[in-house]
């Protein structure tokens, strides 16, 4: 992922055209590292995302919907105090670096004019968003605090002066002297692309490789011409935002001729960045939050598989139960021919006409009657164990299916879904409960299945975990609503409001059922649908487990772009 100084310049230029003079209406902080500003500019409301995520730091206009916390964090409240109602005066990039200043003009509580700057620094895990008082030049607060123990060069704490990130001694390629390229590089030293990255501000390895590719291993003049050609495009703000579908998906704002794979061209840098990053940061956070749960679930699945393997070995032994019963009955029938002290008895086998005689081992220390009882007792023991083992194997297989369904739910989960999944696993005894005093008015939240609106305006609900599935199916849905689920495949409960959906709505609900299932990457996925009144939860069943009848089945091939397109369509309305 190449959010370098050139991409920063392209998006800064785009935001200057779209947001300057715009008024800040709302500010939200959906996560610890992300801000969402609603800005009224050029007659429309626009959503500006600022992210200091350690892996996905960025800033751009977005059409994605974000879930906001019920309690705004302190930094968000401070920003609301200083910026809401204010106007954006300027958006400027520092040199060709990944540092951008958003300048705001507003008024304080007593009506005096104030000026604040919001700085976004895109620096990997050190990325930050910092609010500065322009008049005093000091930090009011930041989304991440940097103490003196963390950085000797600068601290980022309230009251401290704002200091730029350390200078790396690079030259701004857009302001460099005409012969800067020739002075900075040594053609004989090789690795020209690496030399370019080390010499010039904001130039990423991806752009450096393009310069080398355009030069075609020519003379120094060829490298210099390729470099100047690209810098002219950048200086004139001529961009072509693209996402490249190579082995590792990437993006850039200039055409990259050294990447020959398929590419998607976008009309703006924001739309490109929005499409590229959509869902990535949230999936990363969910993965971090649920990492311990995934490990636990996979361990439990392995444990059950080992248990089944061991029980199948016991079952194999238990399959000999009928042999022991037969031995006991044959010994009973031939008791008069056996004496104490015999170590075996050869008797007529009336169970198998082909094998006329059979030799049965005996314990010489036992009487014929005691030997007979030993075989009957062994038969009863194996017969009982066979029934028990078959039940245990069935239970272990059901548990594996349940755990695999939870894994599927985690893989499709949003951040707010993880706690519900964790609570369920605590209730089921997989995760240890911690004694915690519940605060007053801190009642458990009602599960909130995700709501979609179909193309013809019909509500469709999707349970994203078992708590939501149960609430949706047993509480939220009406008896005549249509219930959907992938046939014999772990997945979400889906409900269409009303019992006479259009073919279009039914097809869209089937898409959702397939996409929120373990078969989301398969083709021709069977989806059952029936009315809610035909869906029952067996007594004592695991959360989310139901039985149903009177169903019909439709086959769909999941389209992974469908959900995001539907969400964006719903969000725009």
From 132-136, 427-431, 444-448, 493-497, the region with the lowest mean pLDDT: 444-448
Q: Check whether 261 has a pLDDT greater than 90.
A: no
Q: What is the pLDDT of residues 536-553, one digit of tens each?
A: 999 888 888 999 999 999
**8 A C-beta contact, residue 471 and residue 518:** no
210 contacts 234 by C-beta, under 8 angstroms: no
pLDDT at 183: 82
Closest CA to 328 of 358, 365, 354, 355: 358
Rounded distance, CA 162 to CA 132, Å? Answer: 7
Q: How far apart are CA 531 and CA 516, in angstroms?
A: 20
pTM of structure:
0.66
CATH number of 287-411: 1.10.287
pLDDT at 352: 78
Can you read off the two tokens belonging to residue 168?
Answer: 């790396």
3-state SS class at 308:
helix
Q: Give tens-digit pLDDT for 198-253.
A: 999 999 999 999 999 998 877 888 888 898 899 999 999 999 999 988 777 889 99
pLDDT at 437: 47
**Domain boundary assignment for the chain:** 5-142, 180-280, 287-411, 450-572
Contacts 24+ apart (CB under 8 A), 560-565: 560/515, 560/520, 562/508, 562/511, 562/512, 562/515, 563/512, 563/515, 564/278, 564/279
pLDDT tens-digit map of 470-522: 999 999 999 999 999 999 998 999 999 998 999 999 999 999 999 999 999 89
Cα–Cα–Cα angle for 27, 69, 415, nearest 5°? 120
Q: What is the pLDDT of residue 442?
A: 56
Pick from 3, 45, 570: nearest CA to 280 = 3
The per-residue pLDDT for 494 is 97
pLDDT per position as a tens digit, 59-94: 999 988 887 888 999 999 999 999 999 999 999 999
Burial environment of residue 358 by CB neighbours within 10 A (0 to 12, 13 to 18, 19 or more)? middle
Band (97; pLDDT cuts 50, 70, 90): very high
CATH number 2.30.310.10 is the correct assignment for the domain at 5-142: yes
Q: What is the pLDDT of residue 110?
A: 85
Confirm if 260 and 209 have CB atoms less than 8 A apart.
no
Among 46, 83, 488, which residue's Cα sits nearest to residue 271?
Answer: 46
What distance in Å separates the CA atoms of residue 543 and residue 565, rounded to the nearest whole number? 31
Check residue 440 and give its pLDDT. Answer: 47
Phi, psi of 221 (to 5 degrees): -60, -35
Residue 547 β-bridge partners: 536
The yes-or-no answer to whether 5-142 and 287-411 have a common fold is no
């Amino acid at each position: 992922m190449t959010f370098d100084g050139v991409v920063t310049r392209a998006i800064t230029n785009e935001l200057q055209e779209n947001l300057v003079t715009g008024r800040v209406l709302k500010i939200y902080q959906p996560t610890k590292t992300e801000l969402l500003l609603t800005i009224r500019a050029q007659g429309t409301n626009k959503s500006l995302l600022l992210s200091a995520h350690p892996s996905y730091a960025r800033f751009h206009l977005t059409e994605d919907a974000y879930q906001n916390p019920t309690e705004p964090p302190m930094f968000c409240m401070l920003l609301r105090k200083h910026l809401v109602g204010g106007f954006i005066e300027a958006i400027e990039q520092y040199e060709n670096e990944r540092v951008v200043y958003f300048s705001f003009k507003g008024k304080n509580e007593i009506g005096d004019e104030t000026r604040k700057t919001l700085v976004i620094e895109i620096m990997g895990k050190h990325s930050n968003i910092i609010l500065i008082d322009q008049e005093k030049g000091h930090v009011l607060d930041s989304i991440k605090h940097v103490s003196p123990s963390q950085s000797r060069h600068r601290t980022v704490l309230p009251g401290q002066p704002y200091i730029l990130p350390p200078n790396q001694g690079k030259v701004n390629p857009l302001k460099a002297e005409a012969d800067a390229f020739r002075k900075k590089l040594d053609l004989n030293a090789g690795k020209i692309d690496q030399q370019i990255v080390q010499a010039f501000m904001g130039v990423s390895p991806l752009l450096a490789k393009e310069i080398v590719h355009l030069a075609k291993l020519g003379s120094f003049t060829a490298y210099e011409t390729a470099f100047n050609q690209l810098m002219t495009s950048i200086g004139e703000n001529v961009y072509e935002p693209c996402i490249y579908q190579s082995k590792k998906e990437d993006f850039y704002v200039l055409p990259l001729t050294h990447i020959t794979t398929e590419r998607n061209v976008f009309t703006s840098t924001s739309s490109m960045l929005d499409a590229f990053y959509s869902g990535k940061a949230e999936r990363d956070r969910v993965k971090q939050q649920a990492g311990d749960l995934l490990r636990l679930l996979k361990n439990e699945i392995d444990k059950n598989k080992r248990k089944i393997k061991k029980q199948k070995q016991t079952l194999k032994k238990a399959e000999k139960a009928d042999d022991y019963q037969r031995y006991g009955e044959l010994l009973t029938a031939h008791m008069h021919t056996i004496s104490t002290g015999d170590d075996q008895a050869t008797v007529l086998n009336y169970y198998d006409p082909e094998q006329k005689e059979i030799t049965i081992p005996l314990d010489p220390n036992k009487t014929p009657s005691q030997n007979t009882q030993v075989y009957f007792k062994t038969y009863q023991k194996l017969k009982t164990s066979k029934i028990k083992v078959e039940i245990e194997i069935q239970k272990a297989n059901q548990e594996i299916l349940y755990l695999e369904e939870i894994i599927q739910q985690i893989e499709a989960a949003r951040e707010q879904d993880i706690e519900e999944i964790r609570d369920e696993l605590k209730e089921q005894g997989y995760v240890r409960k911690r004694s915690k005093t519940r605060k007053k008015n801190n009642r458990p939240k009602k599960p909130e299945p995700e709501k979609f609106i179909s193309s013809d305006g019909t509500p469709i609900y999707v349970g994203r975990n078992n708590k939501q599935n149960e609430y949706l199916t047993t509480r939220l849905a009406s008896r005549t609503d249509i219930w959907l689920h992938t046939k014999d495949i772990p997945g979400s409960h889906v409900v269409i409001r009303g019992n006479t959906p259009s073919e279009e709505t039914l097809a869209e609900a089937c898409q959702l059922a397939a996409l929120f299932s373990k078969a989301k990457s398969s083709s021709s996925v069977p989806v059952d649908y029936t009315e809610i009144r035909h869906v029952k939860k067996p007594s004592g069943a695991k959360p989310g487990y139901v039985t149903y009848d009177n169903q019909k089945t439709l086959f769909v091939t999941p389209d992974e772009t469908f959900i995001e397109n539907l969400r964006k369509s719903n969000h725009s309305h």
